[in-house]
Structure 1
Amino acid sequence: MKSSTINSQQFDLHWRGTLSDYVTAIAWSPQGNTLAVSSAAGEVMLWRDLANTQEKNWPLLPLQMAEEQSLDCLAFSQDGQKLAAGGQGGQVKIWCLHNDTRTYRCKPLHTIENAPAWVDKLAWSPSSNQLAFSLGRYVQVWDADMGGVVATLNFDNSSVLGLDWSPDGQYLAIAGYQGAKIWNAQDWNDDPYVLVVPSASLAVSWSPDGKYLACGNMDRTITVIDWNNSIASTTDNTSQDLLPWVMRGFPGKIRHLAWSQTKTQLDAPLLASSSVEGIVVWEANESRSWTSRLLEQHSGVVQELAFQPNSFLLASASEDGCVCLWQKAKKLAQILQGAPKGFSCLAWHPQGQQLAAGGQCGELLIWSQGMRGQGFGNR
């Protein structure tokens, strides 16, 4: 529960709770009024900040109690009214959430059976009620308005290792062995664009402006393409015209990627990446290349990275039991603690004033940025 800071105290512990097992995923609703959390015991819980009401200690509300199989991924729909969860049992469960300042009203909406497949990746489209989720070598796209599957996408080369929608919802990128495939959501039957990587891509991430697509790879490289220019020049649906940048020199496979919403003076976001305990931040330069800087503090494997919305403040959660905050993605500004056996995940509130993190022993911690911290993450 301790926190230390290099300059002045910026984030303070706001709330703490505990689940019965390893926290596998956390997600804020787009409106920021609800936090969902899942565990390796199969729990799904909701938390809501009622600081402006008479309720002082709002507990975790169980949507699903502990079961024998873990739940590994969570996502809210773009309108915040639907929550999807997937996991070891192969089911994708969707709840409908209607809430106000006093209470929750939640009801099961759909259960999509996919056993024996293990669903460990899912994401809602940012522009519609379409949910994409992994099923071994396939990704299914399920339409919540229609109540059915609208597309089954065959990755073919391997199990799906990562997926991400473009910010406008027009494209879905899927990563695995030998790179990434990018489908056009306007025509699922069209052949995907292919970004070839000589090993396997473990993570795939669109920049918030949709201009760049990055893949973190097993061969200790990152591949980045300028999607806007690439899609305009590509005529044969292959990666020959995509002209990717390739970043090298990492100590191990690239586990996580994170883009900043804020842009530099060259009109490009920052890209943060993690490999083992190290963090490297990449910044576009005037020679149409990328300059790197290493952030060193963690002594355990970094489990997740995320930029504070609308700033360059970077948060990193590690197995060493620390969440580090990096001012302007350069300088260590604060260390947050509270999970002695290690952190497993983190997520920023959509407005950036709160940061939630999950622990390997079931801890759920939420820190809030006080008045003293205003402007802490500014560009």
Structure 2
Amino acid sequence: MGNQKTNKSEQTLEIHGKEMLSDYVTAVTWSPDGKTLAVCSAGGEVMLATVGTINELSWQPLQTATGKSIDCLSFSSGGQFLAAGGQDGRVQIWRADSGQLIANLDNQRVWVDKLAWSPNSNQLAFSMGRCVQVWNADDDVVEVTLNFDSSSVLDLAWHPVLKYLAVSGYQGVKVWSGEDWDEDPDILSVPSVTGVIAWDTSGQYLACGNMDNTLIVNEWGNIEPWVMQGFPGKVRELAWSDKTNSLGVPLLAASSSQGISVWERDADERVGWEGWALEVHENVVSAIAFQPTTFLLASAAADGKLCLWYEAEQLLQVLEGAEGGFSCLAWHPDGQFLAGGGCGGELLVWSKSMRGKGFGRR
């Protein structure tokens, strides 16, 4: 797999800082420039942290606990804005540098649990029951409402290069073109419910995790998708590596129940994708993510273990610190730091050995 392997000793992490929120940590995400970490909780908190020298986290609260969950966070591609959505149906947008609230989109009847900024513009897509709305920060206007029709929206994902927005739910995925929202969407049919979707970083592949215990990979321009079966339950989480193998194709990781499988494109078209299992977790896997520019895979689970998998194959390190289980994780854009959220409100940040160095040094 791949080309040059990374030295294992460079991959182990050590604790860098820890903080406590009032409730279950629902999401963590880094700004594109890596200078800021955003975190939110089931208690309604939204916080920004900057990470300095060892054991130092500097906090800026954007919202204190409200008693209503905030479930999703996203930085705009330029890092100028931070959006949050949750239980009260509001989508709030702050300026990331000043913490100023600049927009408050109120949809009281629905729970907003999915949102994402376009990688190419200041367009924010967010779920609204059976619909997705797209808000344009430059004009401060909701420019379109996309009706998924057949069910509630379960996930959404912008194409990383082209102006396309994929939306998943009952019977598959619909892909709308941002060049003309009025055009009928392309439909990727699934004889079940598609819960999670993820484009690879080039936009060539779209992975779909389904409720019928299957994983489907669609290749751009290829009519016939690949279907992977035999999962112990629905596919809950997906992650692509941004590093590619000798064929120029990234690895795909998928979690189902307490198991993780990793998939690699085979040179033989008849084989398609070959997979292998990573088994150590004893409870449901809540998050998986590849470290940027490597095949190092992190997995977090409700068993209180956050595991690092060398080359997405071999267990390298087990990180702890959330006794009630881990709920989410996020790699720093340059891979120097890993943030993990806990079911008891723990926020932990680990780092490569950077003694004496400030945050963000490259």
TM-score range, shorter chain: over 0.9
What is the number of equivalent residue pairs in this alignment? 346
Residue identity in the other structure for 2:343: Q
Partner of 1:101: none
Following superposition, the deviation at residue 61 of structure 1 comes to 1.6
Q: Is the CA contact 2:10–2:352 (under 8 Å) kept in the aligned structure 1?
A: no
Partner of 2:46: 44
2-side partners of 1:8 and 1:262: how far apart?
17
Structure 1 gaps, min length 5: 1-5, 99-104, 231-241, 373-379
2-side partners of 1:26 and 1:169: how far apart?
26
| RMSD, aligned CA | 1.5
SS across alignment from 2:100: strand
Partner of 1:79: 78
SS across alignment from 1:256: strand
Percent identical: 55
Q: Is the CA contact 2:257–2:283 (under 8 Å) kept in the aligned structure 1?
A: yes
Following superposition, the deviation at residue 151 of structure 1 comes to 1.1
Aligned pairs (5 A) from 1:71-150: 71-98=70-97, 105-150=98-143
Partner of 1:304: 287
2-side partners of 1:9 and 1:167: how far apart?
27
Q: Runs of 4 or more off by more than 4 Å in structure 1?
A: 6-9
2-side partners of 1:347 and 1:245: how far apart?
28
Following superposition, the deviation at residue 211 of structure 1 comes to 0.4
Residue 181 in 1 paired to residue 177 in 2? no
Following superposition, the deviation at residue 9 of structure 1 comes to 7.8
Following superposition, the deviation at residue 286 of structure 1 comes to 1.2
Residue 167 in 1 paired to residue 154 in 2? no
SS across alignment from 2:348: strand
Partner of 2:249: 268
Following superposition, the deviation at residue 106 of structure 1 comes to 1.6
SS across alignment from 2:261: strand
Residue identity in the other structure for 1:17: E
Following superposition, the deviation at residue 371 of structure 1 comes to 6.1
Q: Is the CA contact 1:128–1:169 (under 8 Å) kept in the aligned structure 2?
A: no
Once the two structures are superposed, what CA deviation does each residue of 1:312-368 show, in whole Å capped at 9, x if it has no partner? Answer: 000000000000000000000010000011000000001111000000000000000
1-side partners of 2:11 and 2:312: how far apart?
18
Once the two structures are superposed, what CA deviation does each residue of 1:17-42 show, in whole Å capped at 9, x if it has no partner? Answer: 00000000111000000000000000
Partner of 1:10: 12
2-side partners of 1:134 and 1:140: how far apart?
7
Following superposition, the deviation at residue 208 of structure 1 comes to 0.6
Residue 200 in 1 paired to residue 205 in 2? no
2-side partners of 1:84 and 1:36: how far apart?
10
2-side partners of 1:211 and 1:57: how far apart?
40
Residue 284 in 1 paired to residue 286 in 2? no
Residue 210 in 1 paired to residue 177 in 2? no
Residue identity in the other structure for 1:59: S
Q: Normalising by the residue count of structure 2, what TM-score does the alignment of the two structures yield? A: 0.93
Following superposition, the deviation at residue 97 of structure 1 comes to 2.1
Decide which moves more: 6-15 or 125-134. Answer: 6-15
Following superposition, the deviation at residue 59 of structure 1 comes to 3.4
2-side partners of 1:26 and 1:121: how far apart?
14
Residue identity in the other structure for 2:320: Q
2-side partners of 1:106 and 1:220: how far apart?
42
